Amino acid sequence: MLPDSHRCPSNLIPTNTFVKLILSLLNKGKFSKPVYDQPIKEFLYSLKTIKFLSIILVFCILPAKPQNSTITDNTFYLPRSLKSGEVTHNIGLSSTKLPEDVIETDDSFLSPLFTYRLKVGILDNLLAEGSFESNIVTFSFASGLKWNHNFGDIRLSVGTDVAFWFGRLKSYGFDTGIDGWNLSPNITLGYTFPNFSVSIKSEVMLILTQSTRNGDVHTLNTYRTMAGYSLAAYIEQPLWKKNFVVIGFKANYARFYYPLWAGFSTFDRFFFLPEFVFSFNL
Amino acid sequence: MLKLLLFLVVISISTITPQSKDSLYSLNLEVGAGYSYHLTDLNMPDVNLHGFNGTLRIMWQPEHLLRIGLETGYHQLYSLDKVINLTGIGRSEAEISMFSIPVLAVFSMVVFPQMLPELEIKFSSGVMFLNTRGNGFGSKASSSQITLGFSGAATYLRPLNEHFAVGAELKYYNFAKIDDGNLSLQFIFTYKFMRY
Amino acid sequence: MKKFTLILCVGVLMLLSSCDNGVEVLQPIVDPSGVLATTDPVPNKSKPWMEGIYTVESGSSVFGKQVVLKWSNDNLSIFTSKNAGYAVLKGGEIDSVFYFEGYWRFRTSTETGVLSLQISKSEGGAILTAKDSTGGEIVLRGSFGNGTQPGNAEVILRFLRPFSDFVKQNKFYILAHRGGGRNSDYLGVSENTLQIIKQSEGYGANGIEIDVKLSSDGVPFIYHDDDINLRTTQKGVLWGNIEQFTWNLISAFVTLKNGEKIPSLIEALDYIIEETSLEFIWLDLKSSRNEIPIVTEIVLEMLKKGYVKKRDLQIVIGLPSEDKLNNLVKVKDFTTIPTLCELDINSVRKANSKYWAPRWTLGTQTPIVLELQNEGRGAFVWTIDDPAFIESFITEGKFNGMLTNYPSLVAYYHYTR
């Protein structure tokens, strides 16, 4: 947390006009696109704009000043109960370092993923969660239930998400489609400090079913059920006024990382995929 | 990379325009020069790992502990001058050297404001342009590439007056693509060229 | 301030996490002074009778339910569909008893181990050494281990049937990517080297694809990436775009991942002709400059050499882009140059390419494949590694061959047809 005496005014946040100015400058085609010999690299490059926008967001908020607010009220990842019908939203970006063995380059491609999540209160300790994730060629829709309980300052959440996802690619020599259903049991522990909260979430990623089409050939992949598991830490704190941001780090250990489906990895071994998360609680 | 540079410049400019009247902000120009030692597990005894290191930095200094800025510079990483004997080709003197020009976003913080306000801890991240030059067997070659990288530094600055300060900086650079590091000790001179 | 510290910590964690995943494959060591030191080489006449499909009666945890046995030079290979697994063994015979020592490996993972097999006189040994042998039931018994541990798990392979007439009568090219496999397959030897080319036949390949770059002084050499990097090479003093350096500097200062030197194209083709039985070489042109004239000259020279040596060998120049095609048509009598075109079929006809090679992600494209085959051309698909798709493309497609990082898996599905 920045000290209370920090005096950076909130008008340091660029206005929409300012962002538009940057975007218009970027879109003038002055920046040449490298030519890659592999379509997977080409498609990863096409996602760099999103990565760049995420950098803009991070830099824009750095000088801003946090204001006093009730820490728990505006958190998203922190396990907490919602009133029946109460809705909270979270929108942001994550960026993942992909395994060198799969993408076959030691250049650091940070694969970006746009995320939108919401929680809806059902009963006192029960809530529903939904999410949407996309990296332009991949789309994931998930929903699940979570049960929350407080043990003093420590908060616990246990739940399961079911996700349907699909990917499409019809260029660069691909005529490919893939879709699948995943199951993700998860457990979250949270703790609130005076000025911020920390949530630790552990998740297992199981593949229920997955089918792939390349041209006229369809296959059903059933040989990998355990896709991987992850451990993540999310820190939620106010950025300005009551606007909360989430900074997170997720350690994925996965045999199959669904946003990287176009890499067609056939390795039956676990890779470490570090993921940086930055998002806003709406 | 150009996008990032453009963005950082625009952000830097945008953050210095509308400030509260009681704010005390400054832009500092920092210049450093000194010795560097290349840290590598390269197993080649003839390689010279000693070199020159220069830094040019512009830092925005608000009234609190955190400062941000942009840094570039020049690092001699290593050089090699030895006679090579290639089977079927013959002997030749070969010279190879590498230098780096970093372009980094810098975050600097006064960690102990009460006890040691002259000490700043810096973390920088960005890209490094790496250039390799080779000369041997009657030909010369040069090749450049870009790598991601980061650096961490401890800077001790002693103010001379309102505008000038001098000090020293111990800095570690990491170059992701070549999986090597570089340690430098520099003499630093800073000039507070704009205050508002 | 704490927030900044947190951001800093996350950033540092991200940077620290950029290291390798630390994969280590323990290479099993076969004792050269073991039982094989006391045996004679396996008679060439015995080898065809051993080849075929075998049922796995014991040892299915590694070999699945069924395996293929195939000889390549002095190596006996075993291919299974389980985890793209294979085994490579050296053999010997004494008093009609056959002994085999080697290793097995799951290609999709990093599991490996030693393997010892034996054919007793009564379970096939006598049949295999008989003067007028016509084959018969053969049983291989032995043991396998995990990692570098000695083998203590039982394996029994029982002869089921020989290869089908379809397999015997139809040539199918199993092409190993980058000479035999990628560095990410952790084979103990580096991609695009003489060493991996030597091993490729043991993996099930009868052909290879290798990547061709051009040094600044015009020497074609075998290398995949644009730059000298830690994916392909050991740490050295030379970095940057590899094509900007002379061949002598590359030879002097670049060492590949597993300690090998980069081979020139001439060295690689010469080695293939002299030391292997490979039948098909696909040169994947990767240079940013026009290498076609000099590569063509080398290829034609090497084809002549192969002809003199009575080698059944094709060498084709890959055309992966319009640029390369345009460079080709500038060469005099370009239609006589053996090429393989990755572009559309009109480009195949324009270059008069002997082969068409589409990306596998476009499907089997059977009507186009048949159309080109009717014109006397062949068709390969690249680079297919997905086990389910390999099986589908072999059973449903009409291709003449397949480029893959898992030649053993392609071999399994092909030889069990």
* Predicted confidence (pLDDT) per residue in A267-280, tens digit: 988 999 988 888 98
Neighbours of B11 (CB within 10 A): 22
CB contact under 8 A, B136 and C1: no
Residue keyed to tokens 């280590």:
C24
- Average confidence (pLDDT) over C48-63: 96
Please indicate whether, in this complex, the C-beta atoms of C364 and A223 are within 8 angstroms of each other.
no
Q: A12-25 pLDDT, tens per residue? A: 223 333 334 333 33
Contact A131, A164 (CB under 8 A): no
Chain C environment of B96 (Cβ under 8 Å):
237-238, 253
Q: Is residue A15 part of a domain?
A: no
Q: Which residues of B touch C1 (CB under 8 A)?
A: 65-66, 109
Domains located in chain B, CATH noted: 28-68+76-195 (2.40.160.20)
pLDDT value of position A51: 44
Instruction: Give residue A239's pLDDT.
Output: 65
Mean pLDDT of all residues in C26-36: 77
**Distance between start and end Cα atoms, chain C:** 67
Q: How many domains would you assign to chain A?
A: 1
Indicate if ipTM > 0.85.
no
pLDDT at res. C234: 94
Parallel, antiparallel or unpaired: strands A110-121 and A87-97: antiparallel
Host domain of residue A207: 67-281
> Is residue C152's pLDDT more than 50?
yes
Q: Could you say which of C108, C182, C366 has the minimum Cβ distance to residue A268?
A: C108
A12:B15 CB<8 A: yes
Inside any domain, residue A191: yes
More confident residue, C61 or B12: C61
Q: What is the mean pLDDT of residues A131-150?
A: 95
pLDDT band at residue A44 under the 50/70/90 scheme: very low
Q: Which amino acid is at A5?
A: S
**Percent of chain A scored above 70 by pLDDT?**
71
- pLDDT confidence of B19, banded at 50, 70, 90? very low
Residue C121 confidence (pLDDT) above 90: yes
- Output the pLDDT for position C48: 92
At C204, give phi and psi (nearest 5°). Answer: 110, 0
What pLDDT does residue C345 have? 95
Residue A85 lies in a domain: yes
CA–CA dist A276, A253 (Å, integer): 14
Cα gap C363→A238, rounded to integer Å? 51
Interchain proximity A174–C84, CB inside 8 Å: no
What's residue A240's pLDDT? 65
Cα torsion angle, C397, C400, C403, C407, sign: positive
State which of A41-50, A194-203, C62-71 shows the largest mean pLDDT.
C62-71
Contact C249 B139 (CB under 8 A): yes
Of A26-30, B172-176, C51-55, C220-224, the range with the lowest mean pLDDT is A26-30
Give the DSSP H or E segment for A101: helix A100-103
Contacts of B112 (CB under 8 A, 6+ apart): B119
Rounded Cα distance between C174 and A78, Å, is 54
**Considering Cα of B192, then B196, then C5, then C8, what sign does the dihedral take?**
negative
Q: Is the pLDDT confidence value at A65 over 60?
A: no
A67, pLDDT greater than 50: no
Q: Average pLDDT of B30-46?
A: 90
Q: State the CATH number of the domain containing residue A93.
A: 2.40.128
Cα dist from A161 to A33, A127, A141, A229, C195, whole Å: 38, 12, 10, 14, 48
CB-based contact (8 Å) between B6 and chain A? yes
- Please name every residue paired with B3 in a beta bridge, in sequence order, or none if there are none: none
Q: Does any CB of chain A come closer than 8 Å to the CB of residue B166?
A: no
Is C6 in the B-facing interface, judged by CB distances under 8 Å? no
Of C250, C69, C86, C79, the closest CA to residue C160 belongs to C69
- Check CB contact of C235 with chain A, cutoff 8 Å: no
Give the B:C interface size as CB pairs under 8 Å.
96
Q: What is the pLDDT of residue B107?
A: 82
> What is the H or E stretch that residue A247 is in?
strand A243-254
Between CA B54 and CA B71 the distance in angstroms is 11
Q: Alpha helices, DSSP H only, in C145-193?
A: 165-169
Q: Any chain C CB within 8 A of the CB of A35?
A: no
In B, which residues are within 8 Å of C251 by CB distance? 86, 89
CB of A24 within 8 Å of a chain C CB? The answer is no
Nearest to C360 among A102, A105, A214 (CB): A214
- Report which DSSP code applies to C417: -
CA distance A63 to C238: 42
A59 in reach of chain C (CB within 8 A): no
* Helical pair A48-61 and A16-26, crossing angle rounded to 10 deg: 150
Q: Which chains touch C (3 or more CB pairs under 8 A)?
A: A, B
Beta-carbon separation of B4 and A9 below 8 A: no
Contact across the interface for C363 and A214, Cβ inside 8 Å:
yes
| Contact residues, chain C, for B145 at CB < 8 Å | 227, 239-241
Dmax (CA) of chain A: 65
Summarised one tens digit per residue, pLDDT across range A225-252 is 889 999 999 988 776 667 788 888 999 9
Determine whether the interchain pair C8/B174 forms a contact, defined as Cβ–Cβ distance below 8 Å: no
Contact residues, B window 58-87, toward A, CB-based 8 Å cutoff = 62-66, 68
Which residue has 């060295």 as its token pair? C267
pLDDT at B181 over 50: yes
Tokens of C52: 């075929």
Provide the pLDDT confidence category of residue C21 given band limits of 50, 70 and 90. Answer: low
Is residue A124 included in any domain, yes or no?
Answer: yes
Calpha distance A94→A116 (Å, rounded): 11
Please state, in angstroms and rounded to a whole number, the distance separating the CA atoms of residues C359 and C362: 6
- Say if C96 is an interface residue toward chain A (CB within 8 Å): no
d(CA C199, CA C205): 9
State whether residue C12 sits within 8 Å of chain B by CB.
yes
Task: Look at B89 and C239 and tell me if their CB atoms are within 8 Å.
Answer: no
Which among C12, C18, C239 is the nearest to B132, CB-wise? C239
Tokens 């990623």 locate to A205
Substitution target in C247, C248, C255, C257 with the highest count of B β-carbons within 10 Å is C248
Q: Do C340 and C315 contact (CB within 8 A), yes or no?
A: no
Between residues A60 and C299, which one has the greater pLDDT? C299
Name the residue facing C252 among B66, B86, B145 (closest C-beta).
B86
- The alpha-carbon gap from C9 to the nearest alpha carbon of chain B, in Å, equals 10
Reported as a pLDDT band with limits 50, 70 and 90, residue C256 is very high
Q: Mark yes or no for CB contact B86/C216 under 8 Å.
A: no
pLDDT of residue B123: 87
pLDDT confidence band for B3 (50 / 70 / 90): low
B125 to chain C: closest CA residue = C11
Contacts of B18 in chain A (CB under 8 A): 9, 11
Lowest average pLDDT, out of A47-61, A138-152, B148-162, goes to A47-61
pLDDT of residue A70: 62
Q: Closest by alpha carbon to C253, among A107, B177, B97?
A: B97
Is position A154 within any domain? yes
What ranges make up the beta strands (E) of chain B?
26-39, 50-61, 66-86, 90-110, 119-136, 139-159, 164-175, 180-195
Chains touching B by CB (3 or more pairs below 8 Å): A, C
Residues 13-72 of C with CB under 8 A from A: 13-14, 17-18, 20-21, 23
Q: Examine residue A56 and state whether it is found in any structural domain, yes or no.
A: no
A252 touches chain C (CB under 8 A): no
**Is there a domain that residue A171 lies in?**
yes
Identify the closest residue of chain B to C235 by CA–CA distance: B42
Contact check, Cβ <8 Å, A9/B19: yes
- Tell me the mean pLDDT in the region C178-204: 96
pLDDT tier for residue A107 given thresholds of 50, 70 and 90? low
Note whether B4 contacts A25, CB cutoff 8 Å: no
Count CB pairs under 8 A between chains A and B: 55
- The DSSP symbol for A33 reads P
How many Å apart are CA B87 and CA B91, to the nearest integer?
A: 9
Of B10, B22, B176, nearest to A22 by CB-CB distance is B10
Q: How many Å lie between the alpha carbon of C147 and the closest alpha carbon of chain B? A: 29
Higher pLDDT, A193 or A157: A157
pLDDT at C305 over 90: yes
**Which residue in chain B is spatially nearest to C237 when comparing CA positions?**
B96
String of DSSP letters for C317-384: EEE-SHHHHHHHHTSTTGGGS-EEE-S-HHHHHHHT-SEE--BGGG---HHHHHHHHHTT-EEEEB--
Tokens at residue A273, please?
């995929």
- Cβ contacts of B47 on chain C, cutoff 8 Å: 237
Q: Map out the domains of chain C with their CATH numbers.
A: 35-162 (2.40.128), 168-415 (3.20.20.190)
Is C11 close to B86, i.e. CB distance below 8 A? no
Partner-chain residue, chosen from C20, C84, C392, that has the shortest CB–CB distance to A100: C20
> B131 to chain C: which residues are within 8 Å by CB?
240
pTM for this prediction? 0.81
pLDDT of residue A19: 36
**pLDDT at residue number C136:** 75
pLDDT of B17 reads 39
